[in-house]
Amino acid sequence: MTLFSKIIGTGAYLPPKRVTNQELTQQLAEKGIETSDEWIRSRSGIGARHYVEPGVMSSDLAAEAAKRAIEMSGLPADAIDLIIVASSTPDFFGGFPSTACIVQRKLGIANECACVDVQAVCSGFVYAVSVADSFIKSGAHKNVLVIGAEVFSRILNFEDRGTCVLFGDGAGAVVMTASSEPGVLSTVLHADGRLGDILCGPGPVQNGVLQGSAFLYMDGPAVFKHAVVVLEKVAHEALDKAGMQASELDWFVPHQANIRIMNSSAKKLGVPSDKVIVTVDQHGNTSAASIPMALDHGVRDGRIKPGHNVLMEGVGGGFTWGAVLVRM
């Protein structure tokens, strides 16, 4: 029997602390940094974002999103035989123990299932779904928990208005399982390391001491320029690989980074705006968490239904990008 992978559960979690543009503008003004709700919205479409409280880690957000995805899937937690966490903000510097291992512990999964982290920044969830799809199709694993989780507020420079207003914290998750019916229809991944310096965390560690800056750095115009080009190409690659036309899409779930990039991608694909899932206005850019959170939002409000064709795509530091086409 030919094996396919299928998404059978989605979940999301946002930390309770919600910060509107007006509140953030006031906080920045106290530091002598000028911005406004109109300035933020006109450049990004963002109206609010969520931040974690001190002591809350990516694994905490991930575990909450995972519980909701597992509950929707109808599987017992111990049926999960692989956990993949995509995150640029792991619980520990250096990334070990992996956030996936910590999530396994927090979920109380005692079956010694495999756990691994994936780092592709904002493309991380797409990369992780592709990895899970390959494992399931190979027969190596049957039920895979895939999570995107971030606490980007910890790496933002709140003296750089060009980046600090854009990002937020949150987590999204899906449960993927082996199926006799197609679920994941195609995946396409790319990277170009030559562009690594336009979006990065440029501070390496030497002898246990941080060298340089630990804050996120982004060349906004350069990222925008490359994003709009590669996202159009990778979307068509995923559609072509599945033998589908954009007109057959029920929903488009892009990485929630910037409404202008999202609208540009949808327009180039010929996808009408009412078929685009948008959460960037309320969540900001949550990196690897943005796509699974937006997907869950569409599932739980009833728009995304079983049998619908959904295209998800993202672009992130590395420079990485990719797309996943699924039938729910």
Q: Which of 101, 115, 122, 164 is catalytic?
A: 122
164 an active-site residue? no
Tokens 């540009």 belong to: 264
255 an active-site residue? yes
Tokens 């992780």 belong to: 128
Can you name the residues that pair with 276 across neighbouring β-strands? Answer: 252
Query: What CA–CA distance (Å, rounded) separates 275 from 270?
Result: 10
Q: Which of 255, 258, 283, 297 is catalytic?
A: 255
226 an active-site residue? no
CB-CB neighbours of 105 under 10 Å: 13
Query: What CA–CA distance (Å, rounded) separates 167 from 40?
Result: 12
Q: Which of 50, 283, 285, 297 is catalytic?
A: 285
Q: Spell out the SS3 assignment of 260-300.
A: HHHHHHHHHHCCCHHHECCCHHHHCECHHHHHHHHHHHHHH
- Which residues participate in catalysis according to the annotation? 122, 255, 285
